[in-house]
Amino acid sequence: MPEDYYALPLRCDLLIQGPAAHQPVNARELYGSLDDSIHAHIYLLVTTPFRGVRFDTEYGCEIWEGDFSSTNESNDTRWTDQIQSSVLRAIKTYEPRLERIEVIAEFDRDGSSDAHKRLVVSVTAEIKKSNHRVFRFQRNILIAPYASRN
């Protein structure tokens, strides 16, 4: 059964057709689950640089503030600690549906080529609305040049 959360990519054509268009097929295309909604929002937080949203310059995270050309592992550790803190702060501020949030950010050197650093961002939390059911998010982000994949 669809919930009151819009699915991504957003189907604007279904939104503007009005209530008559909300047949079961269209509703499936228009709406998504609570988990999908939270997942999409965290992905947006992680991939948005500070000052990337006009109405709130603090929306986003610090991934895009760092120097990605560094190969020094001590700098990498310090940088991943900053990323963890930044993502945790962003989720606590902008995603009120989660609690007991844990964030891990680390480099995965095995899965990346010489041209990229692969940052693995993992989030584990509990969803308040669903009796504290566990929520998990993980995204591999290839840095310099930027790319993202599941």
For residue 2, is it within any domain? no
Asked if residue 26 is part of any domain, the answer here is: no
Instruction: State the DSSP H helix or E strand holding residue 141, giving kind and residue range, or none if neither.
Output: strand 133-143
At residue 31, the pLDDT reads: 80
Residues 6 or more apart whose Cβ sits within 8 Å of residue 81: 105
pTM of the model: 0.79
When divided into structural domains, the chain yields a total of 1
Q: Given this model, what pLDDT does residue 1 score?
A: 42
DSSP secondary structure, 1-18, as one string: ---SEE-SS--HHHHHT-
Does residue 59 belong to any structural domain of this protein? Answer: no
The domain spanning residue 100 has which CATH number? Answer: 3.10.450.40
- The predicted pLDDT at position 148 comes to 61
Q: Is residue 104 part of a domain?
A: yes
Q: Let me know if residue 6 belongs to a domain.
A: no
Q: Which residue has the tokens 């930027």?
A: 146
Sign of CA dihedral 34, 36, 39, 45: negative
Rg (CA), the chain: 18
4 falls within a domain: no
Residue 130's domain comprises 67-149
Question: In whole angstroms, what is the distance from residue 40 CA to residue 46 CA?
Answer: 10
The span from the CA of 48 to the CA of 52, in Å, is 6
What string of pLDDT tens digits covers the 150 residues of the chain?
446 787 777 777 777 765 554 554 566 677 888 999 999 999 999 999 988 888 999 999 988 776 554 555 556 788 889 999 999 999 999 999 999 999 999 987 665 555 667 889 999 999 998 888 999 999 998 776 555 666
131: in domain: yes
Please report the pLDDT score of residue 2 as a whole number: 47
Report the pLDDT value the prediction gives residue 135, as an integer from 0 to 100. Answer: 96
